[in-house]
A = this chain, B = another copy of it.
Amino acid sequence: MSKERRVPHQFEGESLESVFVGRRDGEARPTVILIPTVMGVSDLEIGFGKQLVELGYNALVADIFGKEFHGAPRDTCFGEMTRLRSDRAALRRRLQHVLEIARKEDGVSENQIVVAGYCFGGQCALDLARSGADIAAAVSFHGLFDPPGLPKEKIKAKVVAFHGWDDPMVPPEKVVALGNELTEAGCDWQIHAYGHVGHGFTNPHASDLQIDGVAYNALAAERSWTSFISLLEELFG
């Protein structure tokens, strides 16, 4: 059975609190760092983590914004996202810090780490890959694709982006730009595009955000999850 434990950590003076979901049997397992949507750590990501534990992995649901923002209202969370996106070099350091935290956790096989993120978290997963981090894979679920505008590194991670073609934040030209960027960066990559699917498709409560083009899509949620698990099997099976 999976156990959750709170993982407090400090980054440049800020107090963060991530959530580790895993078995406590002393065995080191492949681990997925799950980076939440703009709304921060929630039951959604913890639930995904529990599903991963059932399949033999661990999950660390990473706190990016800070403990004080857990459960904060929408506009506050969007404000934090905007703050972090405005300095991508600082965001990169923050993500590298999260990776270090994950590596130190009990039960984490430190060379078998995958980073997967949702919406803003998807951009974070890509940004960590773009930093040249030693991770097995970076996975974006309806993430933002904008490159960070930092010096380019060789990407070592395998990259997979699950993308809704009607995502109003990521039009087709950005999909093409990501493909070309990842090709240039030399990494093994995939983009799975889904027709008639918008932003936020993995989140059953996406419509609560009341943003046009942001909605749950059960089929795309299922397909992307199935392909994600196939990737984990390809890496660690």
Pick out which of these stretches binds chain B: A39-47, A125-133, A178-186: A178-186
Task: Evaluate contact between B179 and A165: CB separation under 8 angstroms.
Answer: yes
Task: Evaluate contact between A165 and B183: CB separation under 8 angstroms.
Answer: yes
Residue total for A at the interface (Cβ-Cβ under 8 A): 28
State which residues 165-221 of A face B: CB under 8 Å. Answer: 165-166, 172-173, 175-176, 179-180, 182-183, 187-196, 219
Nearest neighbor of A226 in chain B, beta-carbon distance: B230
Which residues of the partner chain B approach A173 to less than 8 Å between Cβ atoms? 176
A191 to B175, CA, bound (A): 12
> Can you list 30 A-B contacts (CB < 8 A)?
A166-B183, A172-B176, A172-B180, A173-B176, A175-B176, A179-B193, A179-B195, A182-B195, A183-B195, A187-B195, A188-B195, A188-B196, A188-B219, A189-B194, A189-B195, A190-B192, A190-B193, A190-B194, A190-B195, A190-B223, A191-B193, A192-B192, A192-B193, A193-B193, A222-B234, A223-B230, A223-B234, A226-B230, A227-B227, A227-B230
Which residues of the partner chain B approach A190 to less than 8 Å between Cβ atoms? 192-195, 223
Nearest neighbor of A190 in chain B, beta-carbon distance: B194
* Other contacts beyond A159-B195, A190-B223, A191-B192: 5, CB < 8 A: A165-B179, A172-B179, A179-B193, A190-B192, A192-B193
Task: Evaluate contact between B179 and A176: CB separation under 8 angstroms.
Answer: no
Nearest neighbor of A166 in chain B, beta-carbon distance: B183
Q: How far is the CB of A3 from chain B (nearest CB, A)?
A: 31
A175 to B163, CA, bound (A): 14
Which residues of the partner chain B approach A180 to less than 8 Å between Cβ atoms? 172
Which residues of the partner chain B approach A194 to less than 8 Å between Cβ atoms? 189-190
A191 to B227, CA, bound (A): 13
Which residues of the partner chain B approach A230 to less than 8 Å between Cβ atoms? 223, 226-227, 230
Nearest neighbor of A180 in chain B, beta-carbon distance: B172
Which residues of the partner chain B approach A193 to less than 8 Å between Cβ atoms? 179, 190-193
Which residues of the partner chain B approach A188 to less than 8 Å between Cβ atoms? 195-196, 219
Q: How far is the CB of A130 from chain B (nearest CB, A)?
A: 14
A179 to B196, CA, bound (A): 10
Q: How far is the CB of A228 from chain B (nearest CB, A)?
A: 12
